[in-house]
């Protein structure tokens, strides 16, 4: 009887080990025994041993171990619909009065609270990489943007900072969180802190070119004393300005995809906001590609009767004719557009206008508009069931 009881006891322990322990190396937060109870106790112990002012001494491996542990608990909690895989207290846990996480949001709040308390650890690329990449990925957009913005302004290189912003943007677009996607841009590449640093670099480069032009002119004047002084004065002013103008023109982004800068936008502004226009273009392109809002992909609405955001409830084309100045004229008096989507598109227009950008019309839209206004003159359809994105214009 004792042998059977001991064998049965060992079998029960092995089953509990599979459910409660994570397959990690011996880290501070993930060492065995590993469950929500021990994870919470170790975080509190860490708070007691490491005051907020000593965050510079925390190793990045320790923070990554915390993130791995939290993600593993979240992964187990996400299996709540599968009883065999769910992380639950059970009879033994209830008897021992163990406190298990009831949602992954509790664990996420613990992890983000730790990262925000010890903000100095956000300067490590490996920490923000683990936070964004380890599955399950974060879903709290506000906290994620805050952490990415903190890393962006303290990153060791601009390349690493750009990677974090791009990765966070991909997660937001994956969830179709377009509002927070614009908020991410405002807290990173459009933030006053970043723009001030870029302007200082541009001005310092201009001062350097001016000083270089002055030294070059002075040296040439000493070598050629018979040249009039007015000539060297013109060369002193023109030479650095010409080089500076060429640098501005070569470094600035004039147009990208669906967006371009409005007229009379200075080259300095274009250089300072070149990353911003590329990210906004990424948002606009993602929205159009996933919601059938352009003629280029509108034929897909015949397959899907309703688009993802109910942008169109019928298969009627919506075209903005020349001179249209309002959403009412754009959609007409009998609009089939969903109210929430119309508000969302209004937000798009506001974001684009305040950033001094303009939307480029697709070639297919301009061609279809000309086809509509000219009643098909000088156009032909290659196939009977062809969609407007494949119209061929006659060269006559």
Q: Kindly list the domain boundaries of the chain, sorted by start residue.
A: 20-138, 193-251, 252-319+333-359, 361-396
Prediction pTM value: 0.71
Determine how β-strand 392-393 pairs with β-strand 357-359: unpaired
Instruction: Provide the mean pLDDT of the chain.
Output: 73
Q: What local confidence, expressed as pLDDT, does residue 244 receive?
A: 66
User: How sure is the predictor about 383, in pLDDT bands with cuts at 50, 70 and 90?
Assistant: low
Mean pLDDT across 236-243: 66
The residues near 199 (Cβ < 8 Å, ≥ 6 apart) are: 268, 272
Mean pLDDT across 26-49: 86
User: How sure is the predictor about 388, in pLDDT bands with cuts at 50, 70 and 90?
Assistant: low
Q: What local confidence, expressed as pLDDT, does residue 99 receive?
A: 52
| Model pLDDT for residues 93-111, shown as the tens digit of each residue | 555 555 554 577 888 888 9
**How far apart, in whole angstroms, are the C-alpha atoms of residue 394 and residue 396?**
6
Q: What local confidence, expressed as pLDDT, does residue 171 receive?
A: 95
Q: What local confidence, expressed as pLDDT, does residue 181 receive?
A: 95
Q: What local confidence, expressed as pLDDT, does residue 280 receive?
A: 94
What are the structure tokens assigned to 155, written together? 């990153």
Q: Is the pLDDT of residue 4 over 60?
A: no
Q: Is the pLDDT of residue 129 over 50?
A: yes
Comparing 37-46, 113-122, 299-308, the range with the smallest average pLDDT is: 299-308
Q: What local confidence, expressed as pLDDT, does residue 384 receive?
A: 57
Q: Which residue has the higher pLDDT, 261 or 202?
A: 261
| Model pLDDT for residues 196-206, shown as the tens digit of each residue | 998 888 777 77
User: How sure is the predictor about 139, in pLDDT bands with cuts at 50, 70 and 90?
Assistant: confident
Q: What local confidence, expressed as pLDDT, does residue 305 receive?
A: 41
Q: Which residue has the higher pLDDT, 90 or 156?
A: 156
**How far apart, in whole angstroms, are the C-alpha atoms of residue 171 and residue 211?**
46
Comparing 80-94, 96-110, 213-227, 286-300, the range with the smallest average pLDDT is: 80-94
């Amino acid at each position: 009887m004792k042998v059977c009881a001991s064998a049965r006891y060992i079998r029960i322990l092995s089953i509990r080990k599979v459910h409660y322990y994570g397959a990690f190396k011996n880290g501070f937060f993930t060492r065995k025994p590993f469950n929500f109870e021990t994870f919470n106790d170790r975080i509190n112990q860490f708070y007691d041993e490491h005051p907020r002012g000593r965050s510079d001494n925390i190793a990045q491996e320790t923070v990554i171990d915390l993130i791995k542990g939290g993600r593993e608990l979240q992964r187990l909690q996400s299996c709540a619909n599968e009883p065999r895989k769910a992380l639950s207290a059970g009879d033994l846990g209830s008897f021992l009065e163990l406190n298990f996480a009831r949602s992954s949001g509790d664990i996420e709040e613990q992890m983000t609270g730790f990262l925000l308390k010890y903000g100095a650890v956000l300067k490590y690329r490996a920490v923000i990489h683990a936070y964004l990449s380890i599955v399950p990925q974060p879903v709290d957009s506000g906290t994620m943007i805050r952490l990415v913005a903190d890393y962006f302004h303290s990153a060791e290189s601009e390349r690493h900072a750009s990677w974090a912003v791009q990765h966070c943007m991909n997660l937001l677009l994956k969830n179709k969180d377009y509002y927070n996607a614009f908020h991410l841009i405002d807290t990173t590449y459009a933030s006053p802190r970043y723009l001030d640093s870029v302007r200082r670099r541009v001005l310092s480069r201009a001062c350097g070119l001016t000083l270089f032009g002055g030294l070059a002119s002075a040296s040439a004047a000493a070598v050629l004393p018979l040249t009039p002084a007015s000539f060297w004065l013109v060369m002193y002013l023109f030479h650095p300005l010409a080089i500076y103008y060429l640098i501005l023109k070569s470094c600035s982004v004039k147009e990208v995809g669906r967006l371009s800068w409005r007229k009379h936008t200075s080259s300095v502004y274009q250089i300072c906001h070149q990353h911003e226009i590329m990210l906004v273009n990424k948002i606009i392109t993602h929205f159009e590609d996933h919601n059938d809002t352009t003629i280029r992909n509108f034929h897909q609405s015949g397959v899907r009767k309703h688009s993802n955001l109910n942008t169109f409830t019928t298969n009627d084309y919506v075209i903005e004719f020349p001179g249209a100045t309002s959403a009412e004229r754009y959609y007409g008096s009998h609009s089939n557009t969903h109210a929430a989507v119309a508000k969302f598109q209004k937000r798009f227009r506001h974001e684009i206008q305040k950033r001094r950008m303009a939307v480029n019309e697709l070639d297919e839209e301009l061609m279809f508009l000309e086809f509509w206004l000219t009643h098909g003159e000088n156009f032909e359809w290659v196939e009977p069931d062809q969609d407007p994105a494949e119209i061929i214009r006659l060269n006559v």
